[in-house]
Structure 1
Amino acid sequence: MYEIIQKLHSWWAYVAFLLLVIAVVNSLIGLFSKKEFTPNDKKIALFALAAIHTQLLIGVIVYFVSPLGFASLGQMKDAALRLTSLEHPLMNLIGITLITIGWMKHKKLTTSKSKFKTFSIYYGLGLVLILSKIPWESWFN
């Protein structure tokens, strides 16, 4: 069971990452080209939000059933275990929180520039935090 959930978490990471990159690039293009914020721009950001929240849900399940997650929290001297049991989940949680805040803040804004700027900042920061703690050695295996 663990292997299936872990593979799903690994596979879905590619989808979530791609959608998040698309959302950040789209918001930067919208911001710098001064275009109007359209329903398609909102959908792009929403799909990225949904994908990253799905990844979080799968990740929480993996965290509690994995021997490398919650069960290994006491072994902080091992860098690989520290990454999987503390650093990766914590930084991703902070990144996903920033993305969620960006989504919530955009709802209250009225101008296209402010919406694109909000998505660029919050989704961009969330993406950087997530990228900073991806276990890269296992991404391409």
Structure 2
Amino acid sequence: MYTGLLHLHSILRYVVLILVLLSIFQAFAAGSKPYTPANKKVNLFALISTHIQLLLGLVLYFISPNVDFSRMSEPTFRYWNVEHISMMILATILITIGYSKSKKAVDAKAKHKAIYIFYTIAIVVVLLAIFTMKDRNPWFNM
């Protein structure tokens, strides 16, 4: 079960990345153009896929052999115990806030701006988590 969930979590990260980047590019390119149903769908699918990814990650967190609080002094275990989950929850919160603000905004420009700002910050947080792992995880370069 663990291996299957880990593979699903690994595959879904690319779906999340593509959808969030597509949302960012659409919002950036739109400017003051109308907020179309297609924009809303891409933003919603990015939100949904991010939440599914978070749920899978939380399940993995509780069954993973990489989560071991007795070995917090080792960088790899500290990364999986604290840093990875914290940064991914923060990124999910930012995407949720961005979608909520765009949904509540009346003006199309404000809708696009909310998506652009919050989804971009979320991607930066995810990229920081990836590069943090690369620096601290000896298995990353395998």
In the superposition, the TM-score normalised over structure 1's length comes to: 0.89
Deviation, structure 1 residue 15: 1.0
1:96 match: 92
Q: Over residues 46-88 of structure 1, what are the superposed CA-to-partner deviations in whole Å (9 max), with x where a residue is unaligned?
A: 010011111001100110000112xx12322211111112101
Instruction: State the alpha-carbon separation in 2 of the partners of residues 114 and 120 from structure 1.
Output: 10
Change (3 A) 1:102 1:56: same
Paired residue secondary structure (1:67): coil
Q: Over residues 92-114 of structure 1, what are the superposed CA-to-partner deviations in whole Å (9 max), with x where a residue is unaligned?
A: 10110011011111121111110
Paired residue secondary structure (1:77): coil
Instruction: State the alpha-carbon separation in 1 of the partners of residues 22 and 70 from structure 2.
Output: 38
Letter aligned with residue 29 of structure 2: I
- Where structure 1 has 5 or more consecutive residues not aligned to the other structure, the ranges are none
Paired residue secondary structure (2:71): coil
Find 1:87's aligned residue among 77, 83, 86: 83
Find 2:47's aligned residue among 49, 52, 55: 49
1:29 match: 29
Letter aligned with residue 104 of structure 2: K
Letter aligned with residue 27 of structure 2: S
1:4 match: 4
Kindly tell me the number of residue pairs found equivalent between the two proteins.
Answer: 137
Q: Are 2:117 and 1:121 equivalent residues in the alignment? A: yes
1:59 match: 57
Letter aligned with residue 23 of structure 2: A
- Where structure 2 has 5 or more consecutive residues not aligned to the other structure, the ranges are none
> Aligned Cα RMSD in Å?
1.7
Is the contact between residue 24 and residue 124 of structure 1 (CA under 8 Å) also seen in structure 2?
yes
Identity %: 34
Instruction: State the alpha-carbon separation in 2 of the partners of residues 106 and 140 from structure 1.
Output: 38
Instruction: State the alpha-carbon separation in 1 of the partners of residues 100 and 114 from structure 2.
Output: 10
Instruction: State the alpha-carbon separation in 2 of the partners of residues 108 and 140 from structure 1.
Output: 43
Is the contact between residue 109 and residue 115 of structure 1 (CA under 8 Å) also seen in structure 2?
yes
Instruction: State the alpha-carbon separation in 2 of the partners of residues 140 and 107 from structure 1.
Output: 40
